[in-house]
């Protein structure tokens, strides 16, 4: 199975700041990485797929980059609604695997 390792596990930031979350795959997954947001009481949301393609409805302050084994989710000009949990997921092969999650908290 492809192991997905996210860093950091926790991240504190203020509205208006920019943050980056990293995701490393145990072997090459080409460009096939997705990012999700999880918030209490809300359905999980697909933000980005294939490494850098924004899902319809994802604000442009979100961006994804990377290929092979190393990927990054960047959020610029943080808005209050951006705080929550973020997960990466490889969609290159079965079993589909997720990273352990990054909790983005208000500083």
Binders of another protein among residues 14 to 33 (CB under 8 A) are 32
Binders of another protein among residues 34 to 93 (CB under 8 A) are 34, 36, 38, 43-46, 49, 55, 87, 89, 91
Rounded to 5 degrees, what are φ and ψ at 51?
Answer: 85, -45
> How big is the site for another protein, counted in residues (CB under 8 A)?
21
SS3 99: coil
Task: State yes or no: cis peptide before 8, omega within 30 of 0.
Answer: yes
- What the block records as the tokens of 35 is 């990012």
Tell me whether residue 16 or residue 41 sits nearer to another protein (CB atom): 41
- Write the DSSP symbol of residue 60: T
104 makes contact with another protein (CB under 8 A): no
Tell me the C-alpha to C-alpha distance, in Å, between residue 2 and each of 10, 28, 29, 76, 99. Answer: 22, 9, 8, 29, 10
> Least distance from C-beta 18 to another protein, angstroms?
25
> Least distance from C-beta 76 to another protein, angstroms?
23
> Least distance from C-beta 56 to another protein, angstroms?
9
SS3 80: helix
Residues that bind another protein (CB under 8 A): 32, 34, 36, 38, 43-46, 49, 55, 87, 89, 91, 94-101
């Amino acid at each position: 199975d492809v192991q997905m390792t996210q860093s950091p596990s926790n991240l504190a930031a203020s509205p208006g700041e920019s943050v980056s979350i990293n995701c490393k795959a145990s072997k090459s997954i080409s460009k096939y990485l997705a990012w999700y947001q999880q918030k209490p009481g809300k359905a999980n949301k697909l933000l980005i797929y294939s490494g850098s393609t924004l899902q319809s409805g994802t604000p442009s302050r979100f961006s994804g980059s990377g290929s092979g084994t190393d990927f990054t989710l960047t959020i610029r000009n943080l808005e209050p609604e951006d705080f929550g949990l973020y997960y990466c997921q490889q969609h290159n092969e079965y079993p589909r695997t997720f990273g352990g999650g990054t909790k983005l908290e208000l500083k």
